[in-house]
Each structure stands twice: as structure tokens, then as C-alpha cells.
Amino acid sequence: MFNRLFDTTLRRLIGTGTLTVIDAEGTSRTYGSGSSPQCTVRFTDPDLPRKLLANPDLALGEAYMDERLTIEEGDLPDFLALILANRGAGHTALPIEAHLAMRRSLRRAAQRNPVSRAQRNVAHHYDLSGALYDLFLDEDRNYSCAYFKTPNDTLEVAQAQKKAHIARKLLLEPDMRVFDIGCGWGGLALTLARDHGARVLGVTLSEEQHKVANERVQAAGLADRIEIRLADYRTVTGSFDRVVSVGMFEHVGVPHYREYFSHVRQRLTEDGVALIHTIGRNTPPGSTSPWIDKYIFPGGYVPALSEMMAPIEKERLWVTDVEVWRLHYAETLRHWRERFEANIDAARALYDERFCRMWRYYLTASEMSFRHFNQNVFQVQIARRQDAVPLTRDYLYEGLKQDGPVAG
């Protein structure tokens, strides 16, 4: 089973730490420096090495889901941290690079995202049972990176801090009109209306999110200040003092970036301000993991900052602030993963064991990508006018107390 190419690939990939692989016939081989971390995995599928060479990301995730790859020493976080730390350190091999090159060559076609396709893609993930998300999200159902001012912050505290930070960047005044692109279950819209007196129009393509968000708006008594539409952002007209988008830009698709920022510009008043909060990559433009695309976020893509800047420039928008959050999403995902594991029996009751393994793999791989590979979060503040926001960042921190080091 250990053909020469597979053996060579692992020897080049595992430069630090130690990985032991036991094949379907019981033969064991060890790769790496002999140092920690140490993991042992067993293949029960004799054809798995060939599949891993042909499509590494997809084959690895599916093998874990189907229990054709099991972990005998260490656990899934240890295993994926070992792989991604080595990839992040630059260790690679020809089959990995060949597959990445093929994915990059096809990425623009894969990311075409007309309205009809966008709705199908959103439904695949966000129209899952609402009870699933209750198992691991905070009480406000924020499904995006939290903001940890100290390592001891709870998830609820960190998510509230994220929304407060965004509100400060939006420089809100009472009765300002805010366009929330990709409003999710309505948590940010509720905060901006309740705590800052804004009038919010939120849009989502998820029927489940639309239903829940409207129920929350009614329960909060804010129907006179918040409207939640089941609509694509491209169908919205009118002018807004502020535009905000949290965790939605990853679903836009590279061929539509110019279109997206054109709509942002058109929706903003002359002195308006927009804030785009998105997962980003700390590398040049790339492609989406085929496992993530197939099972979790079809059509999704994590942009490089350079990919965002070109269409912003072409739309004659001012970039007034760029902030990079590094380990904040790793900490967010750790909380989600631990809560999901604590509620695993409830997750099995909703779906099945294979789904649970898929979701565990998704949360763990995402966390380790932020810890050890190339992912972070960008907050890009943009405006139509150069002087739409203050010339220093002092306004973000006036009256705030720093209680300790940030998460990173």
C-alpha cells in the first residue's frame, strides 16, 4: 500500500512533529522529526493512498467522515494541527502542488454566483436545522468571528465585543439608515437598532434565517426599526448612511467582486461609511478546499486582501481603515468545537454519526487553519469621501478600558 509516491509525499510533507501511518494490511511507517506532536492514524481502505494523492483535501475529509481513517494516538485537533503546521511552514510535495495548481486554474468558473445559484448555496448550509446551531453558537446566534479582548473572555462576551467594535467603526447616530448585507439570524441588526437607534434593512438568502430573524425582531419590539428581507443584496435599491456586511463576503465569488463593491457604492450616501468583515487569507489568491466546497460552503471562497482592493479602487471608493484579526477566529472556533462536542448526543439525534464526524472535521480543520496555516479576518472600512471618518483611530477606543492582552 505504501507506494513510492505516497511514501515520498509524506516524507516531504511531515518535516516537524511525528506522524505514524498504519495501512490496511497492518504495516506501519513513521514520518517526521520524531518530536512532538505525535499522531498515529490507521487506514482501513487499501485504496486511500491513491485517493489522497489524487485529491488530498477531499479524500482526507471523506476518509475521516467514513471512518476509513481513524486516529489511534492523539485526536483530530492534534492530527490536523500537525498537517497544517507543516503546510504553514512551507513543507509540501509534488502531488499537493499539482492539485493546488489545477484548483487555481478552475477557480473563477467554480465561483460564478448568479442569484439563483447563490440561493442554492446558502440553503445548503444555513437552512440546516436551527437546533444544530443552538448546540454551539452563543445565545445571540452570531456565526462569525468574535473579538477576544482577553483570553478569559466567554464566547458571549467576545461576540458582544465584536458587535460593539463594528458599531464604533460605523460611527452611528440615531435614525441612521443601515443596510446589513447577509444579516444572518439578525443579531447585529438587533444590536444596532436597540443600542444605537439605527434603522436597519437586513437581507439574507436563507429561509430559516429570515424566519428566525423576523421572529426575533417582533419579540424585541423593534419592527418599526428593523426590516428583514429574504432577498439578494443585488436587488436592493435606495440610499443608506451605513452599509455593513459580516461573514457574507466569503460567498460573493471572485467574478462578482466588482459587482459587489459597485452595489456598496451605489447604496451609500455621499458621506456614508461601509464596513466589510470577512475571513481572509495571508497569501496570494488561491482556491477553496474541495471538501469545504462539497460538504460545507458550496461556492465559498476566502479572499486575499489584494483581491478585495482592486475592485474597491475601480469603484473609486476610499479605504479608510483596514484591521487584521489573527487568532480571534481560532478562539471562536475552539469555543464552537468544544460546545459541539459537549452536545454531541443531541447532534446525533438531529442527524447521524457521519454528519457529526463531518461537522467535527469542519470546525476542527477551520480552527487549525487559523492557528497554523494562512487564514485570518479582515475588517475593511470604506467610504465615498476621504473625510467621512476621523483621521485617527482614537474614536474607536475613547472611554474603553483594556483589561488584558488580546487574543491575537
- Peptide bond connecting 37 to the previous residue in cis, omega within 30 degrees of 0: yes
Based on the fold, state whether residues 158 and 77 are members of the same structural domain: no
Query: Can you give the pLDDT at residue 347?
Result: 96
CA distance 176 to 219: 22
Hey, how many other C-beta atoms are within 10 angstroms of the C-beta on 307?
A: 17
- Kindly tell me if the per-residue pLDDT of 150 is higher than 70: yes
Could you give the C-alpha distances from 214 to 7, 117, 176, 230, 324, in angstroms and in order? 55, 24, 20, 10, 32
Q: How far apart are CA 350 and CA 359, in angstroms?
A: 12
Residues 36 and 157 in one domain: no
Residue 406 lies in a domain: no
Can you tell me the distance from the alpha carbon of 331 to that of 154, in angstroms, rounded to the nearest whole number? 10
Closest CA relative to residue 12, chosen from 78, 76, 96, 70: 96
Q: Which of 50, 81, 109 is the last residue of a domain?
A: 109
In this structure, the answer to whether residues 192 and 287 fall within a common structural domain is yes
Closest CA to 2 of 34, 41, 38, 48: 48
Same domain? 95 vs 221: no
With pLDDT > 70 as the criterion, what percentage of the chain qualifies? Answer: 95
Q: How many CB atoms lie within 10 A of CB 124?
A: 17
Q: Residue 406: is its pLDDT beyond 80?
A: no
Q: Report, as an integer, the average pLDDT of 273-282.
A: 97
With residues binned 3-state (H G I as helix, E B as strand, rest as coil), the percentages for the chain, rounded to 5, are 50, 20, 35
- Report the alpha-carbon angle 303-297-359, nearest 5: 120
> Each residue of 302-328: pLDDT tens digit?
999 999 999 999 999 999 999 999 999
Q: Which three cell numbers stand for residue 372?
A: 497554523
Considering the domain architecture, whether residues 57 and 188 belong to the same structural domain is answered as no
- Specify if 239 maps to a domain: yes
Least confident of 49-63, 94-108, 311-325, 344-358: 94-108
User: Which residue range(s) make up the domain with 61?
Assistant: 4-109
Total domains in the chain come to: 2
pLDDT of amino acid 93 = 83
Question: Among 109, 140, 169, where does a domain finish?
Answer: 109
Count the Cβ atoms, other than its own, within 10 Å of residue 82.
25
User: Domain containing 232 — which CATH number?
Assistant: 3.40.50.150
pLDDT tens digits for 19-76?
999 999 999 999 999 888 899 999 999 999 999 999 999 999 999 999 999 999 999 9
Instruction: Check pLDDT > 90 for residue 130.
Output: no
Judgement on whether residues 50 and 64 belong to the same structural domain of the protein? yes
Q: 178, 240 in Cβ contact below 8 A?
A: yes
CA distance 312 to 322: 13
**Could you tell me if residue 246 is inside a domain?**
yes
Q: What is the mean pLDDT of residues 382-400?
A: 92
Indicate whether 404 pLDDT > 90.
Answer: no
Same domain, 100 and 241: no
Q: What is the sign, positive or negative, of the torsion defined by CA atoms of 264, 267, 273, 276?
A: negative
Domain annotation covers residue 402: no
Do the beta carbons of residue 1 and residue 46 sit within 8 Å? yes
Same domain for 103 and 122, yes or no, is no
pLDDT exceeds 60 at position 405:
no
Can you tell me whether residue 397 is helix, strand or coil? helix
Residues 6+ apart with CB under 8 A from 324: 280, 376, 377, 378, 379
Question: Do 163 and 54 share a domain, yes or no?
Answer: no
**This model's pTM is above 0.75:** yes
Given a contact cutoff of 8 angstroms between Cβ atoms, the answer to whether 12 and 93 are in contact is: yes
pLDDT score, position 249: 97
* Most confident option among 83-97, 110-124, 370-384: 370-384
d(CA 259, CA 221): 35
Assess if residue 408 is contained within a domain: no
From residue 376, alpha-carbon distances to 42, 60, 220, 372 in Å are 32, 23, 33, 11
Indicate which CATH number applies to the domain containing 89. Answer: 3.30.1050
Residue pLDDT, tens place only, 211-257: 999 999 999 999 999 999 999 999 999 999 999 999 999 999 999 99
Are both 133 and 80 inside the same structural domain?
Answer: no
Provide the pLDDT for residue 111: 67
Mapped onto helix, strand or coil, the DSSP state of residue 199 is strand
